[in-house]
Amino acid sequence: MDVFEAIKTTRAMRRLDPTKPVSDTDLWTIIEAATKAPSGGNSQPVRWLVVRDEEKRRKLGDIYRECWAPVAEMYRGRTPASDVTTTRVLNSADYLGEHMGEAPVIIVPCAKGGDPGSVYPAAQNLFLAARALGLGTTLTTVHKRKEQEVREVLGIPEDVNTFALIPVGYPTGRWKEAQRRPVEDVTYWDTWRSVAARPTEAT
Amino acid sequence: MDVFEAIKTTRAMRRLDPTKPVSDTDLWTIIEAATKAPSGGNSQPVRWLVVRDEEKRRKLGDIYRECWAPVAEMYRGRTPASDVTTTRVLNSADYLGEHMGEAPVIIVPCAKGGDPGSVYPAAQNLFLAARALGLGTTLTTVHKRKEQEVREVLGIPEDVNTFALIPVGYPTGRWKEAQRRPVEDVTYWDTWRSVAARPTEAT
């Protein structure tokens, strides 16, 4: 798959088929892709904890559900009923809130120290590689509210931080381009808030 | 370019040709790729400040040089002379320490709030898209030591955080695979430190 196609069509896939297993080969492939990302001083601090064990996934799902509930409430409190797009995203996120534990695999990127710039670029590589293999993923971080409970389920020492719970599986929905703001609205030139129109392509 | 090829061959390119300009079209393309990444609640907080102005780049280069010097000293203090790989990386990083301001473009991802999980996945998209176009990039964060000075050069308000200085240009070196640890060394299965050998591909 072309890299631009992968970038365009990688989006949060929160509805995963719990009955369709993910192969070990594919897991090795997407984690190897993750390892290629940069890290501060090339320190490569991330360890990828792959959770396939059913009981552990159920426990992570329970923790995730409890963490998501208050976040969902917060988002809904500030989302007007007329905002159809956000409401649809929230419904999808609620689904994941209930079903995280049923994802065939949950990947937990861990690292000593707290340098997120050495972790999240790698996660994006993993998402893109998964997309190319037809596997859906979502970046979630609300488990941080009960991180110690996650550590206990997985035997992670207290000096190691967990940066995400990433459900992995075959999506039940379709791949399509994520809805994002136009690039012109988020790009400044030389000075804060100095915007420019994107030139139309020569034809 | 295939997404796996882009992922494998995207690495820090710190020696950039100061005489070869980067087209606006390519800048729009790589920033648009960045915007496709996920963000918390799809909040899309990142603003991409593209610095082409020569005087501003020179000032950013001066700040970066001052920030890099003590970091370089720290790294060198703990790197044995026998560690040829790290020494080579440090030499390359020293080059960037001296020449950041000569990169044809410096991109500064900015956001209100401090959620790095909404910034660094987008940066990785930008790096991969740049790679596909033949443009070199490097993720640097040492400017944080003098972030207020960076804000002053670019007119960035105090409530906005800067997450990186990313030099962009045509590399003088070759594209090749980054040196990383084997995936088997950084992957755990179901429990912290529970490792497994990667199966050899069926032939």
CB atoms within 10 A of CB B91: 11
The two beta strands, B47-51 and A187-189, are parallel
Which chain B residues are closer than 8 Å to A132 by Cβ?
Answer: 3-4
Contact B3, A132 (CB under 8 A): yes
Residue from B71, B128, B154 whose CB has the most chain A CBs within 10 Å, to mutate: B128
Contact list, A8 vs chain B (CB under 8 Å): 33, 36
Selected residue with higher pLDDT from A114 and A33 = A33
Q: Which of A52, A121, A163 sits opposite B123 (nearest CB)?
A: A121
pLDDT averaged per 10 residues in sequence order, chain B, 203 residues: 98 98 98 97 95 98 98 93 90 97 98 95 98 98 98 98 98 93 97 92 57
Handedness of CA B167, B105, A5, A87 (dihedral sign): positive
CB-closest option in A35, A139, A192 to B38: A139
Q: Which residues lie below 8 Å from residue A190, measured CB to CB, with a gap of 6+?
A: B49, B50, B51, B52, B53, B56, B154
- Can you read off the two tokens belonging to residue A123? 């996660």
Per-residue pLDDT tens digits for A3-23: 999 999 999 999 999 999 999
pLDDT of A201 > 80? The answer is no
Phi and psi at residue B16, to the nearest 5°:
-115, 150
Give the Cβ contact number of residue A76 at 10 Å: 13
Task: Report the pLDDT averaged over residues A134-155.
Answer: 98
pLDDT of residue A92: 95
| Residue A39 clears pLDDT 70, i.e. is over it | yes
Q: Which residue of B has its CA nearest to A11?
A: B38
Rounded to a whole number of angstroms, the distance from the CA of B134 to the nearest CA of chain A is 13
A116 φ/ψ angles, rounded to the nearest 5 degrees: -65, -25
Write down the ipTM of this complex.
0.96
Give the model confidence (pLDDT) of A98-135 as tens digits: 999 999 999 999 999 989 999 999 999 999 999 999 99
Closest listed residue to residue B184, CA positions, set A47, A89, A199: A47
Give A-chain residues touching B181 at CB under 8 angstroms.
35, 44
Alpha-carbon span A89 to A96, nearest angstrom: 11
The pLDDT value given to residue B202: 57
